[in-house]
Copies of this chain bind each other. A is one copy, B any other.
Amino acid sequence: MTVTIWDVARRAGVSVATVSRALNRSGPVREETRRRIEQAARELNYAPNSAARSLISRRTGMLGVLLPDLFGEFFSELIRGIDGAAQAGGYHLLVSSSHDAASEIEAALRGMRGRVDGLVVMAPMVEAGVLKPMLPRNVPVVLLSSPLADGAFDALTVDNHGGARQVVEHLLSHGHERVAILKGPERNHDAEERLRGYRTALAAAGVPWRQELEIPGDFTGESGYRGAEAVLRMDPRPTAIFAANDAMAFGALSALRDAGIAVPEEMALAGFDDVSSTRYTIPPLTTAHVAIRELGARAVGMLVDALVPGAGPRPRPRQRETLPATVVVRRSCGCTGAEGGARGP
């Protein structure tokens, strides 16, 4: 049933070694022979057995991608970037998601062992010390948004602190004195950094920090909704909300609308990530722009760089990159000017 390299060799009247060399262009083969082999392969509809190939060559042609989730605009866009770059580099993608707990990550990682030539790991919830021993050392790994700071692995992060600071400073520049933050999950690296940016902005502006203005959340729209409800119950009521990601901002927007609170007149609002639908809410959302797609593309780019086409991982200094996050002003913060009326969907 299955046609092997032997069948091709027999049909072309050569040895398997020659077939291999011809098909992979990995050695000298006379032009005429090569044509004969290629024709034989085509006629037999031959496809090399990738298991056998990677058994001996120790390369699989696949990259592993480990994400906390696949759902939502952020991950959707992230994957898109990852996928594009992987295709461009000639790699297939082995994806695995829904991993927050360290044990799940470990299991997923173990499952990928030996199956991939490189790995993109996004695990903002697990600590450096526990993550590190789980990561394979024989293939290159790129860490996305991970607290792992030592130079053992390539790492790619977003300037969460700077972005959050900018957003909050923008809010403060409108004269808001009481700015609440809807926080991300506890022990999540991105969330912690954004919170830190919030505090930095407050301190820099000389605005007093208040515990009660830091409202728990978990990056879901639902938690944003509840967070905004909590804000509305406060007295005195804050006049601005910084949601640590856009999904929570959308939830908050929903809650504010349901409560009949006008945004931005009665409550200013800003988010983080700049997912695409920030442009189409009412009002459009002021947020910190992150080049999400590029984040994904860059991650596999680093991997592809680390993998020299023919051989295994090549030793080279670890990379550490940080993508900028800059405030993009729309209407939800109370600015009337820029990007006011969204055009198109």
Q: A residues within 8 Å of B by Cβ?
A: 1-2, 47-52, 54-55, 60, 62, 69-73, 75-77, 79-80, 83-84, 87, 92-98, 110-115, 138, 220-222, 224-226, 247, 250-251, 254-255, 257-258, 277, 280, 282, 341-345
CA–CA, A77 and B113, complex, Å:
27
Residues on B with C-beta less than 8 A from A225 are 344-345
A1 and B138 in contact, given A280-B254, A282-B257 (Cβ under 8 angstroms)? yes
| Docked pose: A110 CA to B42 CA in angstroms | 13
Q: List residues of chain B with CB within 8 A of the CB of A2.
A: 138
**In angstroms, how far is the closest chain B Cβ from the Cβ of A75?**
7
Asked if A83 and B111 make an inter-chain contact with CB atoms under 8 angstroms apart, the answer reads: no
The oligomer's copy count stands at 2
- Give chain B residues whose Cβ lies under 8 Å from the Cβ of A55: 49, 51-52, 55
5 A-B contacts (beta carbon < 8 Å): A70-B83, A71-B79, A93-B95, A255-B344, A258-B343
Q: List residues of chain B with CB within 8 A of the CB of A98.
A: 83-84, 87
Please, how many angstroms separate the alpha-carbon atoms of A70 and B52 in the complex?
A: 30
Which of B50, B97, B111, B343 makes the CB contact (< 8 A) with A114?
Answer: B50
Contact A110 B247, beta carbon cutoff 8 Å? no
